Structure 1
Amino acid sequence: MRRPVLTGAAVLRALHHGPRLPLVLPGPWDAASARVFADAGFPALATPSAGVAAALGYADGDVPPDEMFAAIGRIVRAVDVPVTADVEDGYGLGARELVARLAEAGAVGCNLEDGDRAGGGLVAAERQAARLAAVRAAAGDALVINARVDTYVRGAGGVAETVRRGRLYAAAGADCVYPIMAPPAELAALADGIGLPLNALAVPGGPSPEELGALGASRVTFGPGQQRRAMAAVAAEARQLRGGE
């Protein structure tokens, strides 16, 4: 019997539970960087909103939605591995429109955060859970939802509140929970308490992806760090060239 062909979302979802954990997802900011990471053998990629914004000449959070989705589309077209996209708080789009825009761009996963960018705090957990449930209903199984929890970056950190939110988001249909900037020492408690694959952020000077995996992370991403380091290398070369004049 012929085995069914897995969709991109099914492949990405399976990678969160595969034998090679943590799933390390580099963060391409344009088509060229995406090809570099895919050619290196990474099985999937995760676009960082801040890195894409910088590549487009915007501050983080200031990219017009049309430009962000167009950039995601160029990254997806450049590679033959699944791509999940950071779409911040969803740009005010309704669930059906957001899912349609992601599908049009070719992304098979997304980050959705519960930080209130306008007010600076957190969206009520129940409200965010309802939004995630609407996205799940609109997407079915065709989208891997990574529910970002902003407790630690919004001054409301702690295992108890993060677990509370994570459980609500899991019940709403999230595939993965991302307590961004959670202390590495708390990852195990968060993973056990939430019960879904946990996304951890790798930062310079912090634990390696392998170490984050040993601490409880099933998935590791890099935010805009790789884009910033690449631009730092370009800046260093520019200074060297100017110094040689």
Structure 2
Amino acid sequence: MADSALQEKAERLRQLHGTGKPLVLPNAWDVGSAVVFAAAGCPALATSSAGIAFAAGFPDGERMPRDAMLAAVGRIAARVVVPVSADMEAGYGATPEDVADTVRGVIAAGAVGINIEDGLDAGGLRDPADMLARLRAARMAADAAGVPLFLNARTDVFWQRIGPEDQRLALAVERLRAYRDAGADGLFVPGRMDLPTIRGLAAATDLPLNVLGGAGMPPIPELASAGVARVTVGSGPMRAAMGVVRAIAEELAGPGTYERILGVAIPYPDLNALFADDPQD
């Protein structure tokens, strides 16, 4: 029998997708970033697989071992009371059973959502039949665990710019509809898109549409008007933080001043107090 608190978090995450406005999920990469996001009032969090990997010294693309990734997800989920959705890339493994094992690991880590993508690390998209088998295995594993895990199926049609530009919408819709039928609860389409394309994606499927906010994408109010139900930002916050770190290093090594630190640092007492308060107590 699944833990009742975990079931409640899973149901809460589902409810947050049906409020009529986009669920904005910032992507945490460690406990510290998760605590800061949650303290800012975010009702749920996602993880960034790339952000977690970068912070641990690995490149993106399932190069960080699955157990280490799950351990990072577990530390985040244990420290915040809000629901956490885990980005597990392509599911970690060559077979559907490998994906099922990953789902079981995500649930054991305390997360109540998962992203599984169809993009291949070498480029291109996974064979549709293979992707459908992986999604079905994920759904069955979650159901067997008794947790209504929110399965967010991602297609990289626009992310990788697959095929002629005028055919991408149709290709993405074809895949998304198949993923829905295989048990997905939400559909994730990262990549730079204009509003008409986003509207087309939202209108063509009857599941919550997730897009990736960032460079070249419309602001969240415009995404809301286009029918988007969920906005994530991937590794953007982590890379922005690393940009600040690099700027600090360059300033210290150059003029030897401290403006980069002074301009953005959270005051020590505030941060110390934030981490002294364990919301799980």
TM value normalised by structure 2: 0.81
Q: Is residue 31 of structure 1 aligned with residue 31 of structure 2?
A: yes
1:128 to 114, 119, 131: 131
Q: SS of the counterpart of 1:81?
A: coil
Aligned Cα root-mean-square deviation (Å) = 1.8
Question: Which has the greater radius of gyration?
Answer: 2
After superposition, the C-alpha distances for 1:66-107 in whole angstroms (9 at most, x for unaligned) are 111111111111211000011001110624312211011111
**Percent of residue pairs identical:** 46
Q: Is residue 159 of structure 1 aligned with residue 159 of structure 2?
A: no
* Structure 1 range deviating more: 218-227 or 206-215: 206-215
Segments ≥4 residues shifted beyond 6 Å: none
Offset at residue 229 of structure 1 (A): 0.7
Give the equivalent residue in structure 1 for 2:114.
110
Amino acid at match of 1:82: P
After superposition, the C-alpha distances for 1:111-150 in whole angstroms (9 at most, x for unaligned) are 00011224x2111223212211121111125210110001
Give the equivalent residue in structure 2 for 1:49.
49
Q: Pairwise mapping of residues 1-245 of structure 1 onto structure 2 (< 5 A)?
A: 7-19=8-20, 21-61=21-61, 62-92=63-93, 94-118=98-122, 120-140=123-143, 141-156=147-162, 158-185=168-195, 186-242=197-253, 243-244=255-256
After superposition, the C-alpha distances for 1:48-77 in whole angstroms (9 at most, x for unaligned) are 111111111111111111111111111111
Q: SS of the counterpart of 1:145?
A: strand
Query: C-alpha distance in 2, partners of 1:55/1:82?
Result: 22
* Structure 1 range deviating more: 163-172 or 94-103: 94-103
Query: C-alpha distance in 2, partners of 1:214/1:154?
Result: 25
Query: C-alpha distance in 2, partners of 1:214/1:82?
Result: 25
Amino acid at match of 2:136: A
Q: Which runs of 5+ in 2 are unaligned?
A: 258-281
Mark the CA change 1:233 to 1:182 in structure 2 (over 3 Å): closer, same or farther: closer
Offset at residue 234 of structure 1 (A): 1.9
Mark the CA change 1:180 to 1:209 in structure 2 (over 3 Å): closer, same or farther: same
* Matched-pair contact (CA < 8 Å) for 2:152–2:184: yes
Aligned residue pair count: 240
* Matched-pair contact (CA < 8 Å) for 2:58–2:64: yes
Offset at residue 182 of structure 1 (A): 4.9
Q: SS of the counterpart of 1:187?
A: helix
Offset at residue 180 of structure 1 (A): 1.2
* Matched-pair contact (CA < 8 Å) for 1:126–1:168: no
Query: C-alpha distance in 2, partners of 1:78/1:91?
Result: 24
Amino acid at match of 1:99: V
After superposition, the C-alpha distances for 1:5-43 in whole angstroms (9 at most, x for unaligned) are 861111101111114x11000011100000000000000
Offset at residue 170 of structure 1 (A): 0.5
